[in-house]
Amino acid sequence: MMARRIRLGMVGGGQGAFIGAVHRIAARLDDQYELVAGALSSDPVRAHNSAAELHIEPGRSYAGFEEMAEREAARPDGIEVVAIVTPNHMHFAPAKAFLDRDIHVICDKPLTHRLEDALTLASAVAHNGLVFALTHNYTGYPMVRQAREMVASCALGTIRVEFVTGLRCESVAAELTRFVAGRALDDNAQMLMRFSGGARGMLWSSQVAPGNENALRLRVYGEKAGLDWSQEQPNTLLFTPLGKPPQLIRRAGSGASAVAAHASRIPAGHPEGYLEAFAQIYRDVAEQISARREAREPDPASLMVPGIADGVRGMRFITAAVASSRANAAWTAIEP
């Protein structure tokens, strides 16, 4: 029999905020959370209206995250986990506040704005052992998980040219460019990467490529086979073993692994998408929290969710890329 739902709070995500709404759908989809508290907006009227729309009791709609952390921690029925969906540069302070009160955290990406803040959070998590999940949504796709497992199980042999594997990116040569005048951030990034073990990689991320929507694509090649996955057709993984015809592995179809099945809800031929991948992260976090409640080991499949260490690595990568770009795309080491 299923235990009661996990009590969830949210910081940010008031009316009109896109990513907050996505987090809520993701939390609802598998029915393992109950949204009971929020500091949804710094604007008091919007905060109040948003809470009412979401069926949050007025007494648990807070003016700020500090008050929310303090009062929820004091309630016997206080929240067990908080979702932080504030703007990118405002993740650190609320994350720290809830961690300090023994409340698990689901944090939208990127982890923080500054590397030192990321390290502070990592220390806090190392100290108190809480669940800390970073919602890199693509990691929830069944076929991305299967890709990762296939790389790990050596189905591809030694990796030579790669993008996203378990390998450690050791250094980066980056060219960041701002094409549209007035933008606060670079709008085009192109990088060369060197990985542990000698593999090589490239990364292109752009906001100036008309006709591309999100266009996330991952390709990994080893000495024995290759993998190709694109978010726009997320239910298919192209597997290209050397000397054999390429295979179309489909989520929940022939060739799909147990790891993919764990992250699927519906049979083959019924496409899943972005919200299901997002919900998968929430489902896995629920399993991790439930396991702690019940003092048991979590399902190993639930541990593929990106955590604090991944967030720190991401910050180190970005820091190195910015430094490289400022140094005329010189190779710049990424701290281990």
DSSP SS3 for 7: strand
Give whichever of 172 and 308 is closer to a copy of itself, judged by the CB atom: 172
For residue 10, give the H/E element and its range: strand 6-11
One residue of 165, 235, 302, 332 binding a copy of itself per CB under 8 A: 235
Say whether residue 242 binds a copy of itself (CB under 8 A): yes
Q: How far apart are CA 3 and CA 286, in angstroms?
A: 11
Cis peptide before 110 (omega within 30 of 0): yes
Taking the complex as a whole, the smallest distance from the CB of residue 215 to a copy of itself amounts, in Å, to 7
User: By CB under 8 A, what part of segment 165-204 binds a copy of itself?
Assistant: 173, 175, 177, 179, 188, 190-192, 194, 198, 200-202, 204
Stretch that binds a copy of itself, among 14-22, 62-70, 109-117, 309-317 (CB under 8 A): 14-22
User: By CB under 8 A, what part of segment 284-323 binds a copy of itself?
Assistant: none
Q: What are phi and psi of 3, to 5 degrees?
A: -70, 175
Say whether residue 330 binds a copy of itself (CB under 8 A): yes
Q: How far apart are CA 257 and CA 201, in angstroms?
A: 26
Taking the complex as a whole, the smallest distance from the CB of residue 224 to a copy of itself amounts, in Å, to 7
* Residues in contact with a copy of itself, shown as a per-residue x/- string from 252 to 271 under the rule CB under 8 A: -xxx---------xxxxxxx
Give whichever of 29 and 73 is closer to a copy of itself, judged by the CB atom: 29
Q: Find out whether 222 and 197 touch, Cβ atoms under 8 Å.
A: no
Q: How far apart are CA 281 and CA 279, in angstroms?
A: 5
Taking the complex as a whole, the smallest distance from the CB of residue 312 to a copy of itself amounts, in Å, to 26
Token duo for residue 138: 């693509």
For residue 191, give the H/E element and its range: strand 188-195
**Tokens 């970073």 belong to residue:** 134
Strands 247-250 and 332-333: unpaired
Q: Find out whether 65 and 39 touch, Cβ atoms under 8 Å.
A: yes
What does 248-314 look like in DSSP terms, one character per residue? EEETTSTT--HHHHHT--S-TTS---HHHHHHHHHHHHHHHHHHHHTTSPPPGGGGGS--HHHHHHH
Q: How far apart are CA 146 and CA 280, in angstroms?
A: 14
Stretch that binds a copy of itself, among 63-71, 112-120, 143-151, 324-332 (CB under 8 A): 324-332
Say whether residue 126 binds a copy of itself (CB under 8 A): no
Give whichever of 128 and 212 is closer to a copy of itself, judged by the CB atom: 212
User: How many residues bind to a copy of itself according to rule CB under 8 A?
Assistant: 88
Q: Find out whether 305 and 139 touch, Cβ atoms under 8 Å.
A: yes
Taking the complex as a whole, the smallest distance from the CB of residue 241 to a copy of itself amounts, in Å, to 7
Say whether residue 136 binds a copy of itself (CB under 8 A): no
Report the amino acid identity of residue 74. Answer: A
Taking the complex as a whole, the smallest distance from the CB of residue 76 to a copy of itself amounts, in Å, to 20
Give whichever of 5 and 71 is closer to a copy of itself, judged by the CB atom: 5
Say whether residue 23 binds a copy of itself (CB under 8 A): no
User: By CB under 8 A, what part of segment 210-229 binds a copy of itself?
Assistant: 210-215, 219, 221-226, 228
User: By CB under 8 A, what part of segment 51-110 binds a copy of itself?
Assistant: 52-55
Taking the complex as a whole, the smallest distance from the CB of residue 6 to a copy of itself amounts, in Å, to 12
Taking the complex as a whole, the smallest distance from the CB of residue 280 to a copy of itself amounts, in Å, to 12
If phi over 0 gives left and psi between -120 and 50 gives alpha, with beta otherwise, what is residue 21?
Answer: alpha
Taking the complex as a whole, the smallest distance from the CB of residue 203 to a copy of itself amounts, in Å, to 9
